[in-house]
Amino acid sequence: MLTIGCHLSSSAGYLAMGKEAVRIGANDFQFFTRNPRGGTAKPLDLDDIKAFEEYRKENGITAVLAHAPYTLNACSKDAGLREFAKNTMSDDISRLENIDGAMYNFHPGSHVGQGEEIGIQFIADMLNSVLFPEQKTLVLLETMAGKGSEIGRNFQELKDIADKVKLNDKLGVCLDTCHVFDGGYDIVNDLDGTLNEFDKIIGLERLKAIHLNDSMNTLGCHKDRHAKIGEGGIGLQAITNIINHPKLRELPFFLETPNDIDGYQKEIELLKSLYRE
Ligand code: FE
Ligand code: FE
Ligand code: ZN
């Protein structure tokens, strides 16, 4: 069965997200841990979480992916902002420990002119200060489009981060199809080649989730503008190949396409119809 869902608003809590997911035919979902532009998280509601966990078992929601706020930049030039990134991630993870099998995705960061090497070191420093041995929440590095000074624009940069992290059994990768395409990986004409390269550099066992998005732009443009499924440079045939690929088809897929909830429902229906059972 295809594991597919989309990004949902977290404002009404976990149970509400679970119900919304089921209503639109999803069996997973993603949400922001707090306002994507920063700010504090709501207090933890353990009753809501308990109700969600029960609902989820009955309704087959298999994967829950939390997304860190965009303002979290582990490799800012500003020591205060690097500290904010550490505190935010640490607080987010401690909350997610209450959700069964939750994963936590973040954008590695932007080195803002300090260079990749320093950027990668700062990101590893954050992870080394935040991750803890008993942690159950898997932290995912997202593949980035490489706009501006983004770290994670190729597989090697993610590998270099993981290599510097002591508890790197807590780390995985979330592959964003729009981002890797914009980053120059030709998943349209050579999906196998891209996956082989991922396997050679990072190892496919680290691949834990897919952000399934089309791209408004062309291969290698380093732009990061998501398009609706089948309406961009990746196209429906390539997306069909991605969800059915033997090395990807069991992973949880998360839509981050420019849609309202009805649009997401339609895309989920479409993707289910394209999945070969
Ligand atoms: Fe993201
Ligand atoms: Fe993404
Ligand atoms: Zn994006």
pTM here?
0.98
Domain boundaries, the chain: 4-274
Structure tokens at 1: 């069965």
pLDDT of residue 216: 98
Alpha-carbon span 248 to 260, nearest angstrom: 26
Question: Separation of 226 CA from ligand 2 center, angstroms?
Answer: 9
Alpha carbon distance 153, 147 (integer Å)? 8
Angle between helices 116-130 and 79-96 (to 10 degrees): 40
Amino acid letter, residue 194: T
**How far is the centre of ligand 3, averaged over its atoms, from the C-alpha of 44 (Å)?**
28
**How many A from CA of 106 to the centre of ligand 1?**
6
Closest ligand to the CA of 175: 2
DSSP string covering 258-276: S--HHHHHHHHHHHHHHS-
Q: How many residues does the chain have?
A: 277
Centroid of chain to Cα 1:
20
List Cβ neighbours of 19 (8 Å cut-off, separation of 6 or more).
Answer: 55
Nearest ligand for residue 108 CA: 1
Ligand of minimum distance to the alpha carbon of 67: 1
Please report which ligand is nearest the Cα atom of 215: 3
* Rounded distance from Cα 224 to ligand 3 centre (Å): 5
Domain 4-274, CATH among 3.40.50.2300, 2.40.50.140, 3.40.1390.10, 3.20.20.150: 3.20.20.150
Residue 175 pLDDT = 99
Distance of CA 145 from the midpoint of ligand 3 (Å): 7
- What DSSP string runs through 93-138? HHHHTTSTT-EEEE--EE-TTS-HHHHHHHHHHHHHHH--TT--SE
Residue 40 pLDDT: 83
- Counting ligands in written order, the one closest to the CA of 70 is 1
Q: Are 144 and 107 in contact (CB under 8 A)?
A: yes
For the chain, 277 residues long, the average pLDDT of each consecutive 10-residue run is 97 97 98 86 94 98 97 96 97 98 98 98 98 98 98 98 98 98 98 98 98 98 98 98 98 98 98 97
Of the listed ligands, the closest to the CA of 183 is 3
| Ligand 2 centre distance from Cα of residue 181 (Å) | 12
Ligand 2 centre to CA of 142 (Å) is 7
Inter-residue contact 156 to 147 (CB < 8 Å): no
What whole-number distance in Å separates Cα of residue 152 and Cα of residue 146?
A: 7
- Distance (angstroms) between ligand 2 centre and the Cα of 49 equals 25
φ, ψ at 260 (rounded to 5°):
-85, 180
Please report which ligand is nearest the Cα atom of 107: 1
Reported as a single tens digit per residue, the pLDDT across 172-193 is 999 999 999 999 999 999 999 9
- Give the number of whichever ligand sits closest to the CA of residue 36: 1
**Cα 217 to Cα 120: distance, rounded to the nearest angstrom:** 27
pLDDT, position 215? 98
